[in-house]
Amino acid sequence: MPTISRDEVAHLARLARLAVTEQELDKFAGQLDIILQSVAQVTEVAGQDVPPTSHAVPLTNVYREDVVRPGLTQQQALSGAPAAEDGRFRVPRILGEEQ
C-alpha cells in the first residue's frame, strides 16, 4: 500500500506550480513512496544512542589568518566601469520605478 497517493502528488505539484501529466503522477507517486519508505527505514535504525550528524566523519574547518593586503584605489576600481558617478559605479535603477 503506497504511503503517498496520486492525489497527494497532484496537490504537491500544484503547490510547486509544476505541470505534470497523468503518467508522471503515477511515476512520481511510486518514486516518492520509495523515498518515504527509505526515510522510514533510516528512522527505525537510528536509535537514541546515535547522535544526529551532518557528516559521516568529523570535519574541522581550517582557517587562515586574515592578512591585510593593499587593494585597489577608488579611481583604479572605477577605471574599468562603463559608467561612474560621484565616485561610485553607476547602474540602471531597478527598484522603486513604479512609485
Q: Which three cell numbers stand for residue 48?
A: 537514541
Contact 87, 78 (CB under 8 A): yes
Sign of the four-CA dihedral 12, 16, 21, 23: negative
User: Hey, what domains does the chain have and what are their CATH numbers?
Assistant: 6-44 (1.10.20)
Contact 29, 5 (CB under 8 A): yes
DSSP state of 87: T
What DSSP letter does each residue of 2-65 carry, written as one string? Answer: -SS-HHHHHHHHHHTT----HHHHHHHHHHHHHHHHHHHHHHHH--TTS---SSSS--------
The pTM for the full model equals 0.45
Q: What is the pLDDT of residue 15?
A: 95
Q: What is the pLDDT of residue 41?
A: 85
Per-residue pLDDT reduced to its tens digit, 28-79:
999 999 999 888 888 777 677 777 778 888 888 888 899 999 999 999 999 9
Q: Which three cell numbers stand for residue 92?
A: 540602471
Per-residue pLDDT reduced to its tens digit, 77-97:
999 999 999 999 999 888 876
Q: What is the pLDDT of residue 20?
A: 94
